[in-house]
Structure 1
Amino acid sequence: MKMKDSPKDMALKMLGLFMILSFFFVSCTTKEQPVTITEDAETYTLDNGIVTAMVAKTSGDLVSLRYQDKEMLATWLTSKGEPDLQRDPPGQNFWGMNRGMTDHQYGFWSHDAMGPRGTQAAIPTITINPETNGGERAEVSIKGISKGRKMGTGPGADADGQFMSDIEIRYSLGKGESGVYTYSVFTHQPEYDLTVLGEARFAAKLNDFFDWMSISEKQNFYYPVEKRFIDKYVLTVVQSENRAFGWSSTTENVGLFFINPSMEYMSGGPTKVEFQGHRDTNPVAAPTILNYWKSSHYGGATLTVDEGEAWEKVVGPFLIYANAGDSPGAMFTDAKKQAAAETEKWPYSWVDGVDYPSAEERATVKGKLVLNDPITDNNFSNLSVGLTAPEYEAVYPAGTGNRRPVNWQRDAKHYQFWTDGNADGTFEIDNVHPGEYSLYAFADGVLGEFLKTDVVVTEGENLDLGNLTWTPVRHGEQVWEIGIPNRNASEFFKGDEYNNPESPIMYAELFPDDVHYTIGESDFREDWYFQHVPHNTDSEAEPLPYRGVPAEGRATPYTITFDMPSAPEGTATLRAAISGNGAEKIDVEVNGKPAGSIEDLIRDGAIARHGKQGIWHQRSLSFNAALMKEGENTLTLTVPAGSLNDGVMYDYIRLELDE
């Protein structure tokens, strides 16, 4: 006999049904709610029933972002729950929590539309009025006209600004979207002077209930304010590998993430390492998300515009995405899924009036790389192919090294378009702007990179480059090799622990007699320390936040022993691929006799800042092969004495012989 429900059971069932229906009703109605814009004298407010974004008219700062009726930013609020813009005024603010530069407790571009405070008012405009499109989308613009002023008062800027350019900042919100898009438009008019851009980024400081940071699979952990004193440089990541990054809350079960749908507007290509998140270094120590579009770390990036030069660049749009979930892992997974969806939408159809070609105006470039090498087979591993600006000389003010060469690793001035190639060498690069490019490619197992110049992309016309023969440079027969050419030092001993601040100290403890490597017997995974640094001689040496290990060490020799079947003649060439460096030079000896030095190394701070890669570069040293003999030989690489930060991280080393 079926038992009837008790009144208590009936009440619980009705409550459950009510909650389900309420959730369904709220979900449906909020997704269908039209987007609106309201404004007052100081701000625009964009609202779609899911998120509410408030933008300062004077600067383009994002002073509030609400989701599920929660303020997501670290914005100081008044007693009425509104942003306190007297305590934290938008725009230039050298008197904020981080003294000496503009800093806020909400979201802001380092180069805002205000410029130096009081010099000229920004122009606020509604660029997409939701009243004209049935509430499908809203967009606001805050524009600052330079007229000879330097704009931007963020990190590294002087009180009178930094970069002479018009700056327009936009925010866009669509119906049913769980986040707001932002992008910034830089325009250097021909009448403007020579100007140099410093560090450039969008930063968001988050509410203190965010306690779990997810910026990569490795950097995905509980990060409460009590851990605020972590050296932030242990948290850097390869930007292109992490399109979705941010924070979540284990108490409120909400998340906030930045999503880059494309990397075309970012600097430094697919190997660039930067910050994407950490706790702020001011006393509040707010959870922070950072989108560095112009890098300043690990060799940084370059952006200079000459006097008389017309230049424009659109940075973004990228999505500031709010979500909810039962765990940080679930929210991070959802953010990555959203990133994939945003990439499929790129380029966005609603961006108009700026240097942002539509899908119809862009092109797909494809081809096939064919490897022509006597040792390496024609199957590629981790093939990267990109279209970038041809290498050029950046012009700097007189007295500062007037002209400096810039390639894709340091370029922030132009757009870059990269893709992952296939094992058979085929590739397709989508959504390329019209223009003239150089095509670059690199892959694991192949020393150097492929280059094809004068690639012209025509508006709206796809381009098939056909078969492209890649013949890697060789200076004779290969005698031996150490490592894997892969643009980083991860394969060497302890390379997987690159972000350990004590790594430079550990070398002397692990290799008290220095590295002795025998070709054919030793294993670089165990016998070659990933940082070739001065050998520590200071018993009190310790890492210091942001400074690495400033202790001194003696010169460090790495000795390579190898056999030669006969006494060689001709020219030998030592080829060193460097993935990160702080050393001035590497001295080379063959069988105890000087063979020269590897010089002109690029210093990028990768060791001091706990990285596995910085600015990749290759250097070669040729010497008389008669220095070698039949039988056992030694080749010694010595890093000079000095700071433990002043060492080398090799990507790969090879000895070649041309008889």
Structure 2
Amino acid sequence: MSPIGVQLHIQDTHVMIDNGVLQLTLSNPDGIVTGIRYNDIDNLLEVLNEESNRGYWDLVWSSPGTAGTAGLFDVIKGTSFKVIVENEDQVEVSFTRTWDSSQEGRLVPLNIDKRFIVLRGCSGFYSYAIYEHLKDWPGFNLAETRIAFKLRKDKFHYMAMADSRQRFMPLPDDRLPGRGQALAYPEAVLLVDPVEPELKGEVDDKYQYSCDNRYSQVHGWIRTDQPAVGFWMITPGNEFRSGGPVKQNLTSHVGPTTLAVFLSAHYSGEDLVPKFSAGEAWKKVFGPVFIYLNYAMEGDDPFSLWEDAKEQMITEVQSWPYTFPASEDFPKSDQRGSVSGRLLVHDRYVSDDNIPANGAYIGLAPPGNAGSWQRECKDYQFWTQTDVNGYFLINDIRTADYNLYAWVPGFIGDYRSDVAITITPGSYIEVGDLIYEPPRNGPTLWEIGIPDRSAAEFYVPDPNPKYINKLYVNHPDRFRQYGLWERYAELYPVGDLVYTVGSSDYKKDWFFAQVTRKTDDNKYQGTTWQIRFKLDNVDQSNSYKLRLAIASATLSELQIRINDPKGNPLFSSGLFGRDNSIARHGIHGLYWLYNVDIPGKLLVQGDNTIFLTQPRSSGPFQGIMYDYIRLEGPPTSSSKKEHMSALSEEMELDHNR
């Protein structure tokens, strides 16, 4: 512990907390972070911005009945300041905004309590917030909420969010007219005359730095000049994030800006906008998150700050749930419960025996249907991964009623336990062996892709040389380049994609997204892909099953025809999906699974063709990303140990890419 205790200085318009390592200044009673003094730098935040545009909590909300994901943007400003804890080891302060009926239509009907914590000797500070909607208040929609920091553009130029995703970034000035040219949507800008000439011709887009919740635990910025300083957002727990472990959110981007996004509709659409009705009581704690600061001694490698930040992230994760937040709404570990067990997979066409669910994602979320967790956005979720033998342990679960959900890489569909789980303080629940039976009717006749809820294994083209982010050249995440949707029409200028089972390779011959084609008159047209395959024998008295796992869809429709491209479709999904993952450089959004019965009389011995049509075509970003497609034959009496080892090997290679 530092010999210097934490000191609190309260002024008329500001509150300053000093622990000898840093000085944190907040506006009073707004609770906006106006200054962070650290390592002889007067302020790490952008001093050219207004004080209200440096470090703040914000949200986007709309009135009940409003459709879509837009709404009123609100930088949350407190109206009352209170000291919660003040001693030499810790200062915790609160900035609250309470709602009453006189604010109806102007402010979101929530009581909001923003908290900031500084500990003795700690090189950073913590922030969390408690949102509460009372039972007799009007309803509302909450499209987004987060905490944002705007750093000094004259000091922070290098951004890092993963070992393979870090670089010197453009300046915000480079995105302005004259230096930057707007592309197909406002977030994407071509740098035509950047301050640093070597960035000329690159595309900057904040969505290129999005990340799944499961991987987004630390990101931030490095000042590489002396003295080298790092500014990091560490998110030690995911319980308060909406949409589960594979939900994607923004991280850091040009500004220099760093975010902790708790709730958003990105890569999902309106499904992830919680809608609260009048009379619905709700309370949720977002955070705490840790804003970590570090520095390198003169002569040391400034990039070592990233390695140090990763180590600090591990320390914070191991400390979760924190013991020091004073709010009773943030329960300590002994007030929570645990669940353990084992998940096995039973698929008689793969193995006679139950298969340990290796690497399965398994978690507790509010009660619902199988797969409902990915659209759940009001309450808390608790996830882990199973070990190689299928065993799992989920610790530190808040008290509530839950269902247990899972999905297993290598198998389609979603698992949900039939038994509801009630967590009480200090409870430990052992659920024993759980058996997941993935959708399956008959033996696999052929398959395309890997069932892992992503289109990453398919063919991702090189970007147009005019629209490149150099970070993603020869990169595992090559799908993050701008404009890849336009490459499809260049590869298939007249006819559409044709995939021949047995000779085509999905890694080379299956385009990662079934997008629209731009025509010469600047309009768009839908596309029809073909899957050609041979059948040595056809049981015309039985049905075959076509399984289509969808990794993402944007205002799309999937029509299936068998051996006749012009007849009425055997199946139509209707309009579905609002992920916008194609435009936002994602490789997945929300997961969909369609199971289509194909009467044997529609198939023939010899050559057959399945036509996949996506007819919606009002713009460039409509389309479908497939996760995995499988054709099953009619049920057989004996089990078949099929392609499991080859599939597992491909998944391992894909995971390691």
Place the TM-score, normalised by the shorter chain, in its bin: 0.7 to 0.9
Q: Does 1:490 align with 2:483?
A: no
1:174 to 116, 119, 129: 119
1:201 to 127, 131, 146: 146
Judge which range, 336-345 or 349-358, deviates more.
349-358
Q: Deviations over 1:466-497 (max 9, x none)?
A: 00011111133322211001111100011842
Which residue does 2:514 correspond to in 1?
532
Kindly indicate whether the alpha-carbon contact (under 8 Å) linking 1:212 and 1:224 is maintained by their aligned counterparts in 2.
no
Q: Deviations over 1:573-610 (max 9, x none)?
A: 32211111124312222112542323352221111222
Matches within 5 A, 1:279-318: 279=254, 286-300=255-269, 301-318=272-289
Q: 1:177 to 1:89 in 2, by over 3 A?
A: closer
Which residue does 1:65 correspond to in 2?
36
Structure 2 distance, partners of 1:345, 1:515, is 51
What letter corresponds to residue 629 of structure 2 in structure 1?
A: I
Q: Deviations over 1:267-299 (max 9, x none)?
A: 1111011110111xxxxxx30001110112111
Structure 1 outlier segments of 4+, above 6 Å: 115-121
Structure of higher CA gyration radius = 1
Q: 1:273 to 1:327 in 2, by over 3 A?
A: farther
Structure 1 distance, partners of 2:30, 2:14, is 10
SS at the partner of 2:363? strand
Structure 1 distance, partners of 2:258, 2:347, is 44
Q: Deviations over 1:502-521 (max 9, x none)?
A: 21111122234432212122
Q: Give the share of equivalent positions with the same residue, in percent.
A: 31
Post-superposition offset of 1:227: 5.2
Q: 1:111 to 1:604 in 2, by over 3 A?
A: closer
What letter corresponds to residue 507 of structure 1 in structure 2?
A: Y
Which residue does 2:595 correspond to in 1?
620
1:215 to 136, 161, 182: 161
Which residue does 2:548 correspond to in 1?
576
What letter corresponds to residue 505 of structure 1 in structure 2?
A: E
Which residue does 1:88 correspond to in 2?
50
Post-superposition offset of 1:231: 2.1
Structure 1 distance, partners of 2:359, 2:512, is 21
Structure 2 distance, partners of 1:110, 1:599, is 36
Which residue does 2:647 correspond to in 1?
none
SS at the partner of 2:378? coil
Which residue does 1:266 correspond to in 2?
241
Structure 1 distance, partners of 2:460, 2:291, is 36
Q: Does 1:640 align with 2:615?
A: yes
Post-superposition offset of 1:118: 14
SS at the partner of 2:452? coil
Structure 2 distance, partners of 1:224, 1:120, is 31
Q: Deviations over 1:23-71 (max 9, x none)?
A: xxxxx9xx32111100101121111111111112222211111111214
Q: 1:71 to 1:412 in 2, by over 3 A?
A: farther
What letter corresponds to residue 512 of structure 2 in structure 1?
A: F
Which residue does 2:170 correspond to in 1?
224
Structure 2 distance, partners of 1:535, 1:117, is 39
What letter corresponds to residue 645 of structure 1 in structure 2?
A: F
Return the TM-score normalized by structure 1.
Answer: 0.81
Kindly indicate whether the alpha-carbon contact (under 8 Å) linking 2:344 and 2:357 is maintained by their aligned counterparts in 1.
no
Structure 1 distance, partners of 2:503, 2:76, is 69
Kindly indicate whether the alpha-carbon contact (under 8 Å) linking 1:73 and 1:204 is maintained by their aligned counterparts in 2.
no
Q: Does 1:653 align with 2:635?
A: no
Kindly indicate whether the alpha-carbon contact (under 8 Å) linking 1:383 and 1:423 is maintained by their aligned counterparts in 2.
no
Q: Does 1:145 align with 2:98?
A: yes
Q: 1:519 to 1:118 in 2, by over 3 A?
A: closer
Post-superposition offset of 1:203: 0.5
| Unaligned 5+ runs, structure 2 | 61-71, 176-188, 190-203, 462-476, 636-657
Matches within 5 A, 1:313-328: 313-325=284-296, 326-327=300-301
Judge which range, 468-477 or 595-604, deviates more.
595-604
Structure 2 distance, partners of 1:332, 1:554, is 46
Kindly indicate whether the alpha-carbon contact (under 8 Å) linking 1:206 and 1:288 is maintained by their aligned counterparts in 2.
yes
Post-superposition offset of 1:121: 6.9
Q: Does 1:503 align with 2:478?
A: no
SS at the partner of 1:582? strand
SS at the partner of 1:199? strand
Kindly indicate whether the alpha-carbon contact (under 8 Å) linking 1:487 and 1:579 is maintained by their aligned counterparts in 2.
yes
What letter corresponds to residue 258 of structure 2 in structure 1?
A: I
Q: 1:372 to 1:72 in 2, by over 3 A?
A: farther
Which residue does 2:89 correspond to in 1?
136
Kindly indicate whether the alpha-carbon contact (under 8 Å) linking 1:146 and 1:166 is maintained by their aligned counterparts in 2.
yes
Post-superposition offset of 1:240: 2.1
Q: 1:116 to 1:213 in 2, by over 3 A?
A: closer
Q: Deviations over 1:598-644 (max 9, x none)?
A: 33522211112221111111122223221101111111112226222
Post-superposition offset of 1:561: 1.1
Which residue does 1:429 correspond to in 2?
394
Kindly indicate whether the alpha-carbon contact (under 8 Å) linking 1:268 and 1:295 is maintained by their aligned counterparts in 2.
no
Q: 1:440 to 1:174 in 2, by over 3 A?
A: same
Which residue does 1:333 correspond to in 2?
307
Which residue does 1:382 correspond to in 2?
359
Higher relative contact order (CA 8 A, sep 6+): 2
Q: 1:308 to 1:602 in 2, by over 3 A?
A: same
What letter corresponds to residue 127 of structure 1 in structure 2?
A: I
SS at the partner of 1:271? coil
Structure 1 distance, partners of 2:377, 2:161, is 22
Which residue does 1:400 correspond to in 2?
none
Structure 2 distance, partners of 1:452, 1:379, is 16
SS at the partner of 1:338? helix
Post-superposition offset of 1:89: 5.3
| Unaligned 5+ runs, structure 1 | 1-27, 78-86, 91-103, 152-157, 280-285, 393-404, 540-550
Kindly indicate whether the alpha-carbon contact (under 8 Å) linking 2:47 and 2:152 is maintained by their aligned counterparts in 1.
no
Which residue does 1:587 correspond to in 2?
559
Structure 1 distance, partners of 2:430, 2:598, is 43
What letter corresponds to residue 146 of structure 1 in structure 2?
A: W
Kindly indicate whether the alpha-carbon contact (under 8 Å) linking 1:302 and 1:406 is maintained by their aligned counterparts in 2.
no
Q: Deviations over 1:58-109 (max 9, x none)?
A: 22211111111214543437xxxxxxxxx8354xxxxxxxxxxxxx1x1100
What letter corresponds to residue 459 of structure 2 in structure 1?
A: F
Which residue does 2:445 correspond to in 1?
479
Post-superposition offset of 1:571: 2.0
What letter corresponds to residue 146 of structure 2 in structure 1?
A: R
Q: 1:580 to 1:247 in 2, by over 3 A?
A: same
Post-superposition offset of 1:150: 5.8
SS at the partner of 2:570? strand
Q: Deviations over 1:186-243 (max 9, x none)?
A: 1112221212212111110001210011122343111131654412222212132020
Post-superposition offset of 1:111: 4.4
User: Root-mean-square deviation (CA), in Å?
Assistant: 2.5
